[in-house]
A and B are shown apart, each in its own frame.
Chain A
Amino acid sequence: MTTWFWIVMAPVLGGLVYGGERVLRARMQRRQGPPLLQPFYDMFKLMDKRTLVIHSAHALLGVVHFLVLWITVGAIFFGWNLLYIVFLHLFALIVLVIAGYSVRSVFSQIGANRELLALVAYEPVLLLVTVGFYLYAGSFYIGDILHHSGYLSQMPLLFLALLVILPIKVKKSPFDVVEGHQEIVGGVEVEYSGFFFEFLYMARFLEYIFIYSFVFLFGGADYWLGALLVIGTFILVNLVDNATARVRAADMVKISYLLALLLAGINIVWMLT
């Protein structure tokens, strides 16, 4: 029952994380920043706005993207097969990419293309991390993975690899080309407004939960360690975000492959010997 409660509340939880992040970033820059609940105020404001639609399929695909992500997060809370979860997430992403491509908008299409490039950059690493968990815990199921501990000592490089690709998923510098507000005005998001934009806005909260779950898993049976890792990573990612500039999309793929994939690969080979 509690699991269902958390699944239903997942977008709210994600919203709080997102709000907290904005506060944190503001503090890092010595700004006042928005209140913690700002994401929710934004949502109420969005609901009030006149909704404009390019075409039905485009708008509805945004909703489907959100729903599939929600199912993905639900599957995480239920402790299901991590490999399946990564692919469910892939499905959600492809829906968004199709949506982005379905309108003849330059920004949306470039955004969708970068969304795919980002996928090429992080997906293999994410899957290798999953395989790493499997090799250590002997199971792909999150429930089983959380029964073991000592992941950090066995998979330190995989953790580093995850840290490298994490900014891609939460769209933070140096890997925020997907969104690139200053150049492609939000990419896929730009053609959504009002009611339908809300779903995309909430989808971002769910993405946070999705990717930080991987960080949490490194704590294993020790939930406090997991929580600590999540908080530490959270602060680190925002520090990096404040301190770096955006790299080009092609460089994102290169960095991911030459650094993250290499680290992950070395760790897996090391685990095998």
Chain B
Amino acid sequence: MPGAMLLILLPIVATLLLRWFRSEKMQYILLATTVVLLSATALKLYFGSAVLTFHFPHWLELFIVIADLLLLLYFLWQGRRFDRRIITLLAVIQLLLYGWAESVLPEEGGAEVVVDALSTFMFLIINIVGGIIVVYAVRYMSYEEISEEKKRLFIAYLLLFLSVMNAVVVSNSLLLFFFLFEMTTLASYLLIGFRGDETAQKNALKALWMNQIGGVVILLGTLCAIYGYDTTRFDALTGSVGGTLLLCVSLVSMAALVKGASIPFDGWLLGAMVAPTPVSAILHSATMVKIAPWLILKLSPALGGTGVGLLLSTFGGFVFVAASYLALSRTVFKEILGYSTIALLGLMMALAAIGTPETSILTMVLIFFHALSKAMLFMTAGVVEKLHHLKDIEDMKGLIETAPKSARFILFGFVSLTLPPFGLFIVKLFAIEEVSHMLPDHPGLFLLLLSILIGSTLLVLLYFKVTAAILSRPSDIVGLGHEAMPSGFLLPLAILAVLVVFTTIRLAAVQQVADLTLFFVPIAMLVLAPLAYRWMDRFDRVKCYHCGEKESFDAALYYYEPTPKIRVAIYTFFTLLFVSVALTGALS
């Protein structure tokens, strides 16, 4: 327990200390120490692999109830303040449901906090990847035109958020989870609205009300668990059989769909892209949205092999395809990354909901590699935004010449998301193998298989369309420019890149599939190709073929925009699918 305690308390301590660390150098020292300590603790817990439990003392329970009430009242106040009826309404509903749940709360043993293998695995992502992003945020915020106070406040938010996340993944009580879920909603709300302008405010409110729906379904699920099984514990609930079990589980898992920004809730994550980039990286890609697949994994013992599990798998598969498709119409780099995050979250939830040990491991590996690659991509997006003032992929044409370092990180990010031998690719490969393997006994998984196949190729199209903009160069007579990237940017990015390579090699080594080594040959060729550049000098250079045209012209990027009709159809379809999750739970 002390390890997990440290992970929750240390960020809070660092936040309090931040007051006295005013200079940038001092902040780096404080944050680097914190992150190293957090990462080391997470690693130790991960390799320690003992299951620990912890029962809350009475005063702590009381504290959480009060904090929860204050939080909900704060949401209520925000709804009144900005005159958003839906927020007020949802806050009132949550208050009523929460009061109801507290009043019928059963006396039960069992621990509120359980640190199991899944939690320690999530610790790795939250503390290592999240920690790197916090360090990166110091340099990023130095470019913002706001007061020093506010910059420190921003870092403090991020640190507190790490603490909340560490608590989420050990919670074993539905009500504790509800509180922490609402805390992450609060974090989204505050951080998206951080810049305070009109769009930021609007998008923050959108994120608030959408995530509140998640809170409502968790509370409904909790009530269902209390009335049906006299428990609010995850493990007790997923261990029960019969009755209304599937209804309870399906209600709670709907919260995952909201947090994972699955369509029709994609709006809040897209809107979140107006926030400072470290927010996008930490909340909306690397850590917070990972609550979604985590929650499904947590519930998977009850979901596996049921109709609800199958429906969630199919839902996830469809989101994988639809979000990849919707991304093809976007021009803002961060929005493209956002949609691809939604897509991959869909895939993670789909795999998690199958609920076999193999698919659970695949989900975890997918979560891990996605966190690394997406954090790297979002951070690079932030670098390009701050150093080169580019946000739109249309303006990024020829980035490889003007900003070779950033361009290479983006390219590496895309390659690590799609191509062999990188972890994410291997997971997709194994997922296809595994689902094919299960197909004869579970024909229902066919739609998921089809979605994985189509979604993967759509993502390839998406990433390499963006690559087109970045790579295009007229010639190499003039060499690449020099990009001065501050080490506050370069180091975090480089660490992530090294982690991707290192963990990929480890993954391939653990698998002991000889054929996998075959995948390392092509990438080695690509990496070694520049060695031949000098030899290339013997060939004459030429300009591109223009078919006799005198005027210079440039190829445009392609966009695939769904017509309004198709768009409405997509959202209607997914809304119906979302509602049918609860219906299936109620009927089966």
Contacts and interface: CB of A to CB of B under 8 A. Distances in A.
Interface of A: 50-57, 59-61, 63-64, 67-68, 71, 75, 80-81, 83-84, 87-88, 90-92, 94-95, 97-98, 101-110, 112-113, 116-117, 119-120, 123-124, 127-128, 131, 134-135, 140, 185, 190-191, 193, 195, 261, 265, 268-269, 272-273
Contacts of B518: 71, 75, 80, 84, 88
A26 B489 CA distance: 61
A95 B453 CA distance: 20
B555 interface: yes
A26 to B, nearest CB: 28
B492 interface: no
A272 B464 contact: no
Nearest to A100: B468
Interface residues of B, number: 57
A191 B542 CA distance: 9
Nearest to B449: A131
Nearest to B534: A56
B545 A191 contact: yes
B553 interface: yes
Interface stretch (B118-126, B353-361, B436-444, B564-572): B436-444
Q: Dominant SS at the B interface?
A: helix
B544 A91 contact: no
Nearest to B419: A91
B510 interface: no
Contacts of A109: 468, 472, 555
B293 to A, nearest CB: 24
Contact of A55 (B456, B460, B541): B541
A106 B554 CA distance: 6
A87 B424 CA distance: 13
A55 B474 CA distance: 8
Contacts of A269: 443, 446
A66 to B, nearest CB: 10
Contact of A104 (B432, B454, B472, B541): B472
A116 B439 contact: no
B532 interface: yes
Nearest to A95: B526
Nearest to A196: B539
A134 B533 CA distance: 43
Nearest to A141: B515
Contact of A131 (B436, B525, B529, B544): B436
A103 B515 contact: no
Interface string B404-440: 0000000000000011100001000100110010011
A168 to B, nearest CB: 13
B545 A101 contact: no
B65 interface: no
Report the 7 A-B pairs with minimum CB-CB distance, sorted nearest first. A55-B476, A109-B555, A105-B544, A101-B468, A52-B542, A56-B536, A272-B443
B188 interface: no
Given A53-B541, A84-B519, A272-B446, A60 B536 contact: yes
Contact of A113 (B398, B468, B529): B468
Contact of A116 (B450, B461, B522, B536): B461
B473 A104 contact: yes
B464 A88 contact: no
